[in-house]
Structure 1
């Protein structure tokens, strides 16, 4: 276990990984109070993290800890010059930070300046470090080296100790790390150790926070190893999963008029899970859609399969992920303009870039106009939801119109029309024949056709609408057209993957006309009000609920089909 942790720590970057993700959690757990974490674009005066307190089992008095953090190993060439230069930052701590940055309440505390790195201080730099610390150590100021071995020891002792991390989550975590080259296996083991760590039995505030921190550290380690193995599919899937499991734990806290320190700590951990997801998704798209989205068929060919089904499934998966990232960045860009205008602007630009990429991906890969699974309605609805958030519906209506034509035309010619069958073998064989009995089985129900028909009033003329409904009536007259709403049990079940909950509204057939469809949906929205009690929606985190719907293949409720302005 320690070897895994040391390798993981050595692979971390300074900015965004070691200093913002791992070390703050570790310091909090060993008994220190973190005073500040690094911010991009601000002067640090040599100190990446400041903390105060006593380390459990080590310190007999309180210290002010000042951390200078570097990535990987530190060699002699890193001592005075280069990106990782150590001495200039140590000098800046001594000459600037100690003179002007220490708050009055901590001015009388002894100080420990810690050179922290995920790797080790190489032999060639040890003499420089020894000479420097010997020269500048005083009664009040001392120096410590916190290398990967020291950090791994602290993690084993406080976060991942054998008596704290039970055998089951420890074993599943190690298996997830070992299987980072196999996305599905890695995902299942990650799901297993998250389920073990965040089970219902750990209910005290202190225990809850510890388990969340353990989950984050373990998940971060899995993702770091997946990046090392150049398997970004694993990084995306487990980061999204971690975000959902984290919220499932946090949502159970009792609401109080004034947030406590515990509440703030929980939200800090959630923020880290969200940032981990955004970082993993950014890396994933930089290698896929952002780079190759404009090249015709490039992404389809990259699936490397002769089966059109594989290409279709992969491309809709990619499109749904793109839409979800855009929805998240749009939310954050609207929520941060005053707190951090520069970051807010970069997020808004990221949303625009994602929208442009989605348009390019759709135009460059025609398979996206011919969904083979009926539940591809989820991806289509997410794209249109993002389009409405950004007032860019007109860019996607031609695509939606193409879907309305191709899906019904596929029914007429009996060629890979959307089916509610999900088993891969069934999809490969689809359609097995043109018998009406098979059509009735393959299209026993549909969430796709009602959604597409709902939008036809905004994108199609009367002739096209009539043709759409007549084809459905002719080929699949027995199909149950339906929509899904959460119920009172959904908030307790959706975050960990339970799908047997919710309310199915079946009277939404395109055969009855658009006015009847809208009337039925409006009445259902008025009646099925449990969605307003979904914890993430009450907290203003609508994308979290939509992420759960996409991740666990639940339909997007009609509440998100058309936004009021």
Structure 2
């Protein structure tokens, strides 16, 4: 297990990733963190400060961490103003003289250089001499990847929380992380055991509380991050990594909602904040890999064997790109500078999404009815980032192809998730779709609703006419969640456990009449459901949207109906 953790630590590409892991480790070692890493503020050599008793010696000490990334060679040792040698001297000459609190004056001082790499042999003599020369001032140690891995295994993944079966499941998940067909079941078992959840999302007897719950959340995060980083290898599948960190984030949030108020606040303040940032970091890495493909025609779909496979790939990427854009666009902000930062990043992702739609013709031919969720998220992202014209252009093409599919009974977005159904009855590989595949449609209702929202009344009225004249037996429908939505949304597909269907929807001939129907629903009890979202109340709106896509739960119509009447 130590080898697994050490390898994970070595894959951390950014120093701030280690910055965020180490405070959790120190807490489990019994320390109280005094100062955490801060970007932009001069820290005089100290990245993390903590006080407490040394778990090995029992001595009361002030622990000062100098965090670096990668191996420490000659340049990293004394090559510039940010080098290790300079950082430790800053601690001696400035920090210990001017930054010590009165309660720390009598404490033993221990300085640790922590890195995700190793101390190279070329630096060993200089390091040893420096440690010896300054032993009267402080105890100086080096924690490389192996040392940190040992501490994580001992203090964070101890046998009382992280059992042998958890270790086996994590190893098995890591071994299969490069398989695009792997369903991550081993990782999911580990998550559920650690979070005290059964397969219905309910708490088992005697669930963890207090520090044990916080520790469990940290373990879930560490396991997900280790798995995700494994997928960044040359033979890995980063899509698997993204889905893993999403599941860890969603199930952790679900578990937090089952705790009492105090435990809930503590969990959100520390471990869930780490999970949230972990998702952001990995989503950024995923986007960096997918972004170049968005600007090349059919870059990921050109090698597929048929239209079904192309459509599945195209709409999965549409949903993922939209989720990331919305995560960035809805991110909590405290200053104008933060607003500009998140908005700028959201627009970069929206640029890629728009390019993906332009460069992949199959992005107008959904093969599954549930792709309506991906379409809704993408519409939200495009409109929210000021790309209404791109949204309208895409919607016209979607209507053209979906309308043709129902008329011709070919290439129909089927209302099941079975690929066998699609091949045998969907009309995608020859022949016509069966009547069973034409029974119902969320897709048509989604196109109708967005047509009205975007002021495309002519398109809506053409759809209403064709639905009546050319495919009258298709049951057009939508799903409206009820108040118990949030008991299920973050754990599994919610529409099988909550809410009611609006079916069959008889599309009135005029767009204005349908607009009135949508407004009635928006102002009904259904409209109040989205106001009860615990994620929205915590300022984490994007969490709900990620949950909808991740578990293939339809996005509540009242959520996107809210755009009616706005300036688009």
Please state how far the C-alpha of 1:479 moved relative to its aligned partner.
Answer: 2.1
- Mean Cα displacement is larger for which, 486-495 or 190-199? 486-495
In structure 2, relative to structure 1, the CA distance for the partners of 1:417 and 1:65 (3 Å cut) is same
Match of 2:182, SS state, is helix
Tell me the alpha carbon deviations over residues 407-463 of structure 1, each in whole angstroms, 9 at most, x when there is no partner.
Answer: 10222233302221321122234217777xx54311222111112112324557666
Shift in Å at residue 171 of structure 1?
Answer: 1.6
CA contact (8 A) 1:299 1:365 kept: no
CA distance in 2, matches of 1:461, 1:120: 61
Residue matched to 1:147: 144
Going from structure 1 to structure 2, the CA distance change for 1:462 and 1:520 (only over 3 Å counts) comes to: closer
What is the alpha-carbon distance in structure 1 between the residues aligned to residue 81 and residue 373 of structure 2? 45
Out of 112, 115, 120, the residue aligned to residue 114 of structure 1 is 112
Match of 2:474 in 1: 479
Between the aligned partners of 2:343 and 2:489, the Cα distance in structure 1 is 29
Q: Find the counterpart in structure 1 of residue 297 from structure 2.
A: 296
Structure 2 distance, partners of 1:279, 1:51, is: 25
CA distance in 1, matches of 2:16, 2:113: 17
Residue 239 of structure 1 pairs with residue 245 of structure 2 = yes
Corresponding residue SS for 1:227:
coil
Question: Which residue of structure 1 aligns with residue 276 of structure 2?
Answer: 274
Rate the CA distance shift 1:311–1:31 in 2: closer, same or farther, 3 A: same
Structure-2 residue corresponding to 1:174:
171
Q: 1:461 to 1:65 in 2, by over 3 A?
A: closer
Correspondent of 1:375 among 370, 373, 377: 370
Q: Is the 8 A contact 1:445 1:480 kept in 2?
A: yes
Query: Aligned residue for 2:498?
Result: 502
1:470 and 2:465 equivalent?
A: yes
Contact 1:181–1:231 (8 Å) recurs in 2? yes
* TM-superposition CA deviations, 1:268-287 (whole Å, max 9, x none): 22222122212212222222
Give the aligned partner of residue 17 of structure 1: 17
Worse overlay, 320-329 or 404-413: 404-413
Matching residue of 1:165: 162
Taking structure 1 as reference, are residues 458 and 197 closer, same or farther at Cα in structure 2, changes over 3 Å only?
Answer: closer
For residues 69 and 419 of structure 2, the distance between their equivalents in structure 1, rounded to whole angstroms, comes to 44
Provide, for residues 167-209 of structure 1, a one-character-per-residue CA deviation record: whole Å limited to 9, x for no partner: 3322211111111211442632222211121123433212111
Q: State the Cα distance separating 1:239 from its structure 2 match.
A: 1.3
Taking only aligned residues, the RMSD between alpha carbons, in angstroms, comes to 2.5
Structure 1 residues 172-321: aligned runs within 5 Å: 172-185=169-182, 187-199=184-196, 200-201=203-204, 202-229=207-234, 230-255=236-261, 263-264=265-266, 266-288=268-290, 290-301=291-302, 304-321=303-320
Rounded to whole Å, the distance in 1 between the matches of 2:476 and 2:172 is 43
Contact 2:76–2:84 (Cα < 8 Å) also in 1? yes
Q: Which residue of 2 aligns with 1:344?
A: 339
Superposition deviation, residue 14 in structure 1: 5.1
Which aligned pairs between 1:74-153 and structure 2 lie closer than 5 A?
Answer: 74-76=72-74, 78-81=76-79, 85-138=83-136, 141-153=138-150
Contact 2:256/2:267, CA 8 A, preserved across alignment: no
Cα–Cα, structure 1 residues 344 and 456, in superposed 2: closer, same or farther, change >3 Å? closer
Residue 217 to residue 158, structure 1, CA distance change in 2 (3 Å): same
Q: C-alpha distance in 1, partners of 2:431/2:519?
A: 36
**1:127-178 Cα deviation digits (max 9, x unpaired):** 212110111122x522122233322222122111223212332221111111
Are residues 479 and 305 of structure 1, via their aligned partners in 2, closer, same or farther at CA, if it must alter by over 3 Å? same
Contact 1:450-1:509 within 8 A present in 2 as well = no
Other structure's SS at 1:496 match: coil
Equivalent pair of 2:65/2:112 in contact (CA under 8 Å): yes
DSSP 3-state at the match of 1:298: coil
Larger % of helix: which?
1
Secondary structure (helix, strand or coil) at the match of 2:330 reads: helix
Contact 1:300 1:311 in 2 (8 A): yes
How many residue pairs match? The answer is 549
Helix, strand or coil for the counterpart of 2:490?
A: helix
Instruction: Report the Cα offset of residue 40 of structure 1.
Output: 2.6
Tell me if the contact between 2:170 and 2:190 (Cα under 8 Å) persists in the aligned partners: yes
Residue 200 of structure 2: aligned partner = none
Instruction: State the secondary structure of the residue aligned to 1:419.
Output: coil
Which residue is equivalent to 1:398?
393
d(CA) in 1 for partners of 2:177, 2:118: 25
Distance 2:37 2:11 in 1: 19
Question: Equivalent of 1:456, from 451, 455, 462?
Answer: 451
Q: Distance in 1 between matches of 2:240 and 2:252?
A: 18
Q: Distance in 1 between the 2:158 and 2:458 partners?
A: 68
Give the match for residue 431 of structure 1.
427
Query: Does the C-alpha gap of structure 1 residues 479 and 283 become closer, same or farther in structure 2, counting only changes over 3 Å?
Result: same
Distance 1:563 1:390 in 2: 16
C-alpha distance after superposition, 1:221-253 (max 9, x if no partner): 112222234431222111111110111122223
Runs of 4+ in 1 over 6 A off after TM superposition: 432-435
How far residue 487 of structure 1 moved from its aligned partner, in angstroms, is 2.5
What's the offset of the Cα at 1:265? 5.1
- Separation of aligned partners in 2, 1:115 and 1:186: 39
Secondary structure at 1:34 match in 2: strand
Does residue 548 of the first structure (1) align with residue 550 of the second (2)? no
Preserved CA contact (<8 Å) 1:486 1:501? no
- C-alpha separation between the residues in 2 aligned to 1:7 and 1:547? 29
Task: Find the aligned partners of 1:147 and 1:166 in 2 and give their Cα distance.
Answer: 25
Q: Residue 356 of structure 1 aligns with which residue?
A: 351
Q: Is 2:379 the counterpart of 1:384?
A: yes
Match of 2:58 in 1: 60
Does the 8 Å CA contact 1:484/1:502 hold for their aligned counterparts? no
Task: Give how far 1:306 is off.
Answer: 1.8
Superposition deviation, residue 66 in structure 1 = 0.6
1:546 Cα deviation (Å)?
1.2
Gaps of 5+ in 1: none
